[in-house]
């Protein structure tokens, strides 16, 4: 029997070219795909509920006879059909209906209908039920299994998807759909048989525990969850192997530059910075590409670590590229590196998306000509950017970049032969559970020590009805010689409106605090203007800085000990944590006021509560993950990295250690099973190992 993975959907009854095209849109190309296209949820149409036993909120199949059908004029005109079955009366309400429909619902018609029961003007009602008139006296049989509801796309009905899965299930057998998990492993992890799991999930018998299904805890789901997580793990391991199999330039430990750099720095690296620096230095001296993630909380001093790594490549005569996700952060790095490297006689080039025309051409020429240090945004990764001797790529704030982007880097290496080493730095601590699966291809270093002299920030959550009090607080702090930030958050994703709001706040605060020197900085200002304002603030000439979240990263003014964040409920926890990290850098006790706009949602309250309770980036990240889910947190929604079919990283986290062991075992003992698993579970673009 042919394997279902080899049978195209067009082999099914009723599937022509047009339908096949629609199916391809949801990733269904062959019969195996159809079987792994699993229902999102289920309806129970296996029994008929007497009208008298209906409860609001219930989805139910009801049978009865039409006692009357009238068009009624409420707030909206509707057709109201009263249905009786001897145990009670139920109303079916249609806001959209045709004359033919109305005629078909005459008094005395026997109906079976299905829908959600809700309390209405006439007692219990179902809006727009699915219904069918019963022929003769005999009522049609009810469904034999729970009814699956599949993920779908425009123009593809549930009924159609059910027909297709029905046909595919009919061809399901041990040879047509091999179980790639070895019997030994199935026994060890107590997994059920694959074919049974699929049959159960497409057509659950009437007694199936619906709650278990809804929670993803049913054995049939868990069997597939295990296989899916395992496959995901395998693909990351493959990716890792592919990358490691490449050659990278060997960079011997630097002899002179680091010492000169540190001598000019004005402070000594912390123990953690030295330790992580050594881990990196070792990797760079190896002939395979480094793939290392440095996690360190906001303010831990990752930039110094990046500079130490860069110096090793620079001393060996190679090029280094440093990429940041936003222009303001990239700018900050450009300024820092220019300042640090100038005394060492090393040139720094700049490239960002906004750089156009002649300036851009000049930058591209510089980079191609071999300018040793290059700083910029993701514009650095565009095809037109050619490096001469690129040996190390440093990516700041990894959580916004996907695996695909990391892969694209390979092509930037030397003569297409040597791949650059990769150093990835993130301030968003990756919860352990996620790190294990999303970053299985990276080694990790942890910068777990803050530079000396940092003080914990006291966080207050205050409603904006008390804004005046907060303004007074700013006055007092500044009078005592401190400096403060007033941060305006993003308005509905419009930078324009956000900048306007900052301007309004700036004017109000300047008026209210006439004796203070107040400055304004936002994303619409020219780089030179921003730099000038930042400089004044750094020198202490400005006491209060009104800003948009452009100050999220990279800004460092130890004397600033108070931060007000307007509408903090608009920001993610990681971003709030980043912002707050701008204070607490000096010796004075620091405060952060979260000035929210009431009323807060339940979720909003919980989130701000977390900010008040802890300054620990790891705790915040764990909570953020819990509240928002991993896709959003890692910014990988679009890349599809964490789009699982059945698995849910939070829910199934406890399986991960076993999954990791199983992946290793499978790779070692049954390597030939890896490819078929990848093919089964991952869409083509997701098969990292084969990109």
CB of 298 to ligand ADP, least distance (A): 5
Residues 489, 568, 614, 617, CA torsion sign: negative
Using CB under 6 A as the binding rule, the residues of this chain from 538 to 557 that contact ligand ADP are 554, 556
CB of 172 to ligand ADP, least distance (A): 53
CB of 380 to ligand ADP, least distance (A): 19
**By CB under 6 A, which span of 240-248, 283-291, 292-300, 625-633 interacts with ligand ADP?**
292-300
Identify the CA nearest to 640 among candidates 689, 575, 684.
Answer: 684
Q: Report the alpha-carbon distance of residue 434 to residue 236 in Å, rounded.
A: 13
Q: Report the alpha-carbon distance of residue 606 to residue 569 in Å, rounded.
A: 10
Nearer to ligand ADP, 318 or 337 (CB): 337
Residues paired with 594 in a beta bridge: 461, 565
Nearer to ligand ADP, 330 or 363 (CB): 330
Which residue in 201, 243, 257, 298 binds ligand ADP (CB under 6 A)? 298
DSSP-derived secondary structure letter, 469: H
Query: Per the structure block, which two tokens stand in for 646?
Result: 């059945």
Using CB under 6 A as the binding rule, the residues of this chain from 65 to 124 that contact ligand ADP are none
Using CB under 6 A as the binding criterion, the count of chain residues that bind ligand ADP stands at 17
Query: Cβ-closest residue to ligand ADP?
Result: 301
Which residue in 64, 204, 269, 376 binds ligand ADP (CB under 6 A)? 269
Nearer to ligand ADP, 225 or 545 (CB): 545
584 binds ligand ADP (CB under 6 A): no
CB of 299 to ligand ADP, least distance (A): 5
Residues 6+ apart with CB under 8 A from 6: 30
**By CB under 6 A, which span of 79-87, 105-113, 158-166, 295-303 interacts with ligand ADP?**
295-303
Which residue in 37, 218, 232, 302 binds ligand ADP (CB under 6 A)? 302
Q: Report the alpha-carbon distance of residue 331 to residue 554 in Å, rounded.
A: 9
Chain position carrying tokens 């009919």: 170
Using CB under 6 A as the binding rule, the residues of this chain from 459 to 478 that contact ligand ADP are none
Which residue in 299, 325, 420, 431 binds ligand ADP (CB under 6 A)? 299
Residues 6+ apart with CB under 8 A from 527: 331
Identify the CA nearest to 439 among candidates 424, 459, 419.
Answer: 424
Q: Quick one: CA torsion of 257, 258, 264, 265, rounded to 10 degrees?
A: 150
CB of 449 to ligand ADP, least distance (A): 9
9 binds ligand ADP (CB under 6 A): no
267 binds ligand ADP (CB under 6 A): yes
300 binds ligand ADP (CB under 6 A): yes
Nearer to ligand ADP, 218 or 302 (CB): 302
Query: Per the structure block, which two tokens stand in for 584?
Result: 């607490």
Q: Is 78 helix (H, G, I), strand (E, B) or coil?
A: strand
Residues 6+ apart with CB under 8 A from 160: 14, 19
N-term to C-term CA, the chain: 31
303 binds ligand ADP (CB under 6 A): yes
Using CB under 6 A as the binding rule, the residues of this chain from 484 to 523 that contact ligand ADP are none
Find how far residue 655's CA is from the centre of its chain: 21
Using CB under 6 A as the binding rule, the residues of this chain from 417 to 436 that contact ligand ADP are 427
Is the peptide bond preceding residue 599 cis, with omega within 30 degrees of 0?
yes
617 binds ligand ADP (CB under 6 A): no
Q: Give φ, ψ of 391 to 5 degrees.
A: -115, -20
CA–CA–CA angle 344, 346, 350 (5° rounding): 140
User: Measuring CA to CA, how many Å separate 101 from each of 79, 82, 113, 279, 351?
Assistant: 10, 15, 14, 74, 65
296 binds ligand ADP (CB under 6 A): yes
Nearer to ligand ADP, 66 or 588 (CB): 588
Which residue in 148, 277, 301, 431 binds ligand ADP (CB under 6 A)? 301
CB of 598 to ligand ADP, least distance (A): 32
CB of 266 to ligand ADP, least distance (A): 8
Using CB under 6 A as the binding rule, the residues of this chain from 554 to 573 that contact ligand ADP are 554, 556
Which residue in 88, 178, 451, 640 binds ligand ADP (CB under 6 A)? 451
326 binds ligand ADP (CB under 6 A): no
Identify the CA nearest to 320 among candidates 393, 213, 421, 406.
Answer: 393
Q: Report the alpha-carbon distance of residue 83 to residue 67 in Å, rounded.
A: 6
Nearer to ligand ADP, 64 or 269 (CB): 269
**By CB under 6 A, which span of 52-60, 268-276, 480-488, 587-595 interacts with ligand ADP?**
268-276
Q: Report the alpha-carbon distance of residue 120 to residue 103 in Å, rounded.
A: 24
**By CB under 6 A, which span of 11-19, 115-123, 285-293, 296-304 interacts with ligand ADP?**
296-304
| Strand (E) or helix (H) holding 92 | strand 89-94
User: Measuring CA to CA, how many Å separate 610 from each of 73, 349, 593?
Assistant: 50, 41, 14
277 binds ligand ADP (CB under 6 A): no
- Give the footprint of ligand ADP on this chain (CB under 6 A): 267-270, 273, 296, 298-304, 427, 451, 554, 556
């Amino acid at each position: 029997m042919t394997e279902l993975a080899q049978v195209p959907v067009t082999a099914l009854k009723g599937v022509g070219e047009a339908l096949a095209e629609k199916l391809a849109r949801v990733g269904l190309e062959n019969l195996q795909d159809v079987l792994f296209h699993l229902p999102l949820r289920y309806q129970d149409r296996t029994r008929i509920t007497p009208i008298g036993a209906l409860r609001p909120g219930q989805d139910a199949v009801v049978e009865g006879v039409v006692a009357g059908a009238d068009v009624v004029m409420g707030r909206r005109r509707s057709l109201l059909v009263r249905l009786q079955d001897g145990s009670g009366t139920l109303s079916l309400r249609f806001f959209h209906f045709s004359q033919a429909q109305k005629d078909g619902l005459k008094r005395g018609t026997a109906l079976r209908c299905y829908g959600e029961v809700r309390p209405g003007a006439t007692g219990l009602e179902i809006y727009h039920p699915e219904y069918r008139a019963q022929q003769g006296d005999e009522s049609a049989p009810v469904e034999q299994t729970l009814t699956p509801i599949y993920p779908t796309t425009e123009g593809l009905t549930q009924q159609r998807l059910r027909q297709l899965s029905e046909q595919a299930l009919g061809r399901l057998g041990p040879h047509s759909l091999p179980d790639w998990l070895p019997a030994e492993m199935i026994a060890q992890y107590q997994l059920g048989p694959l074919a049974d799991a699929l049959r159960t999930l497409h057509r659950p018998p009437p007694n199936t525990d619906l709650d278990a299904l809804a929670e993803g805890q049913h054995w049939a789901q868990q069997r597939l969850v295990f296989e899916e997580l395992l496959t995901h793990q395998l693909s990351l391991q493959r990716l890792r192997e592919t990358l490691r199999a490449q050659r990278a330039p060997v960079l011997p430990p630097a002899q002179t530059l680091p010492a000169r750099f540190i001598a000019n720095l004005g402070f000594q690296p912390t123990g953690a910075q030295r330790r992580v620096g050594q881990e990196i230095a070792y990797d760079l001296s190896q002939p395979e590409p480094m793939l290392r993630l440095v996690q360190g909380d906001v303010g831990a001093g990752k930039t110094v670590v990046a500079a130490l790594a860069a110096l090793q490549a620079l001393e060996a005569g190679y090029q280094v590229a440093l990429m940041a996700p936003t222009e303001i952060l990239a700018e900050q790095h450009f300024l820092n590196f220019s300042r640090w490297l100038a005394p060492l006689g090393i040139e720094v080039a700049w490239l960002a998306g906004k750089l156009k025309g002649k300036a851009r051409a000049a930058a591209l020429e510089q980079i191609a000509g071999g300018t040793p240090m290059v700083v910029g945004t993701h514009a650095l990764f565009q095809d037109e950017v050619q490096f001469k001797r690129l040996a190390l790529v440093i990516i700041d704030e990894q959580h916004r970049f996907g695996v695909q982007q990391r892969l694209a880097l390979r092509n930037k290496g030397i003569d297409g032969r040597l791949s650059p080493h990769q150093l990835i730095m993130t301030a968003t601590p990756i919860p352990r559970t996620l790190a294990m699966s999303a970053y299985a291809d990276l080694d990790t270093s942890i910068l777990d020590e803050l530079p000396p002299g940092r003080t914990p920030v006291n966080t207050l959550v205050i409603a904006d009805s008390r804004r005046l009090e907060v303004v007074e607080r700013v006055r007092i702090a500044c009078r005592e010689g401190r400096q403060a930030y007033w941060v305006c958050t993003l308005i509905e994703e419009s930078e324009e409106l956000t900048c306007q709001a900052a301007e309004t706040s700036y004017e109000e605060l300047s008026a209210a605090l006439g004796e203070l020197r107040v400055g304004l900085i936002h994303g619409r200002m020219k780089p030179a203007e921003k730099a000038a304002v930042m400089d004044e603030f750094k020198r202490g000439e400005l006491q209060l800085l009104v800003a948009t979240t452009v100050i999220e990263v990279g800004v460092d003014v130890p004397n600033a000990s108070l931060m007000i964040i307007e509408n903090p409920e608009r920001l993610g926890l990681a971003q709030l944590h980043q912002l707050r990290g701008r204070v607490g850098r000096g010796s004075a006790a620091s405060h952060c006021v979260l000035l929210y706009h009431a009323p807060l949602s339940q979720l909003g309250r919980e989130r701000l509560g977390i900010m008040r309770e802890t300054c620990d980036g790891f705790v915040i990240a764990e909570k953020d993950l819990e509240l928002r889910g991993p896709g959003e947190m890692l910014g990988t929604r679009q890349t599809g990295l964490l789009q699982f079919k059945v698995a849910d990283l939070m829910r199934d986290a406890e399986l991960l250690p076993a999954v990791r062991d199983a992946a290793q075992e499978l790779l070692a003992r049954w390597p030939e099973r890896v490819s078929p698993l990848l093919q089964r579970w991952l869409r083509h673009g997701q098969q990292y190992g084969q990109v």
